[in-house]
A and B are shown apart, each in its own frame.
Chain A
Amino acid sequence: MTDLLEAFETAFRLLLSFDAGLLEIVGLSLRVSLTALGLATVVGLPLGGALAVFRFRGRGVAVVALNTMMGLPPVVVGLLVYLALSRSGPLGGWGLLFTPSAMVIAQFLLITPIVASLARQVIADLWVEYEEQLRSLGATSSRALPTLLWDARQSLLTAVLAGFGRAIAEVGAVIIVGGNIAHVTRVMTTAIALETSKGDLPLALALGIVLLLLSMAINAIASVLTARGEQLA
């Protein structure tokens, strides 16, 4: 019991003193996940919107596939990216395995379906409201898409935040493709996993607290945005 209390005490000391090792790990986590999120947003929002607006053969299948991919287990994504990037894999020549870039790729694959799928739902709902008016004004589906993405911007931000929450908190994919190498690919979740198994609880706890705070901040932002969105709806 006293061990645990001491661990908490040390954890808070690490946090409050802005421990360099801690900051390095938090910084890399943010860099990797935000990069993945940026790419996932650029790809996922238009993709989800297109699935909502365009009618084409196989659209139903595509939507089911996308929704299924929302629940991809991170370790499976990690394994697939590992196989692709390993020296004997098809992309082995890039030499990206065990680098932050590999982690960005894995997280991108993991959260793009989430961003796209949530965006599809948001845009589909808005399209129901807008379709006749936009068509009456002379908009084609491809002209309507950017309009819908812009007008749904607040709800879409919630989709993006959901993607970020998933990226920053997952451990399975980044530990496989990053390898949890100190100062190179060690991020919050992989550090927690390692330090806990090593018995170094203070660092694990401090990182856990940072993760919790981040997740709280994301949820707070999301609920503020939702409230503001309802006001203007």
Chain B
Amino acid sequence: MRASRSILPLRLSGLTWERGGEQLLGPLDLELDGENRVVVLGPNGAGKSLLLRLAHGLIAPSSGSVAWEEPDPRRQRSRQAMVFDRAVLLRRSARANVEYALALRGVAAVERGARTDEVLEQTGLLDLANRAARALSAGEQQRLALARAWALRPEILFLDEPTASLDPAAARRIEQLILQIREAGTAIILTTHDLGLARRIAEEVVFLYRGRVLEHAAASVFFEAPATREARAFLQGDLTW
């Protein structure tokens, strides 16, 4: 399905990010090939969002490097997309939000309409296409954010706590869509502190604690037999809920 060579794998090496003399992330090394659904797991403040923003190129590392297989920075950028914990939708219709993103990526005007219809259909938003995006419910807004990202046909999709502010039903729909997007061939890297979500989605887990990668393992291994004390404590925390 992929038209041309892949930008993956993604290699983070010696990556750090600091602010005000305090090192909030790293140093960490991580290689992601995008074959599995990756969940970056960890407590609040572990640096999950930072890791995603660094990998996606929204912020620059203090040291270390974010390297893609693809050397051309423009192609790197155009093959990625990100969905944030709270959808930032433009003050226009749902449809126009998707079309705007496609226009930014240089998709020809004649193709935008069809692609927009397609993703709105796939995300169950076609009936709401002409409604003001800001007037949609929180769950619909997040679905629209997913649709907008999906329309870009990214090779890799970063999701930062995509269901954190949603009720359980809306969160389930988002989860299903994420699985569907993966089925269609997009690599998934998702952060969460929600163990239930992590267990349902993850095939590969990166456990982050105080800015460091403590474990990077297959999901089955991580959940059955966590190697570190911190991970065990984090997983136990779930049991006391």
Residues of A participating in the B interface, judged by any CB pair closer than 8 Å: 129-130, 132-133, 135-139, 143, 147, 150-151, 153, 232-233
Contacts and interface: CB of A to CB of B under 8 A. Distances in A.
A138 B78 contact: yes
B134 A132 contact: no
Contacts of A132: 53, 58, 84, 88
Interface residues of B, number: 22
A174 to B, nearest CB: 37
A11 to B, nearest CB: 44
B201 interface: no
B148 to A, nearest CB: 8
Contact of B104 (A137, A150, A233): A137
10 contacts: A130-B88, A132-B88, A136-B58, A136-B80, A137-B101, A137-B104, A137-B105, A143-B104, A153-B91, A232-B91
Contacts of A139: 104
A132 B84 CA distance: 9
Interface of B: 53, 56, 58, 77-78, 80-82, 84, 88, 90-92, 100-101, 104-105, 132, 134-135, 148, 152
Nearest to B133: A232
A165 B78 CA distance: 46
Given A133-B84, A233-B134, A151 B91 contact: yes
Given A136-B81, A138-B104, A147-B100, A129 B90 contact: no
B135 A232 contact: yes
Contact of A136 (B56, B90, B100, B135): B56
A130 B135 CA distance: 17
Contacts of B105: 137-138
Contacts of B53: 132
Nearest to B91: A151
A136 B132 CA distance: 22
B78 A133 contact: no
A222 B100 CA distance: 29
Contacts of A232: 91, 132, 134-135
Contacts of A137: 81, 100-101, 104-105, 148, 152
Task: Tell me which of A135, A137, A139, A143 has the highest count of chain B C-beta atoms within 10 A of its own C-beta.
Answer: A137
- 3 nearest A-B residue pairs (beta carbon): A133-B88, A136-B82, A151-B91
Given A132-B53, A143-B104, A138 B77 contact: yes
B197 to A, nearest CB: 22
Contact of B90 (A135, A151, A233): A151
Nearest to B132: A232
Contacts of B58: 132, 135-136
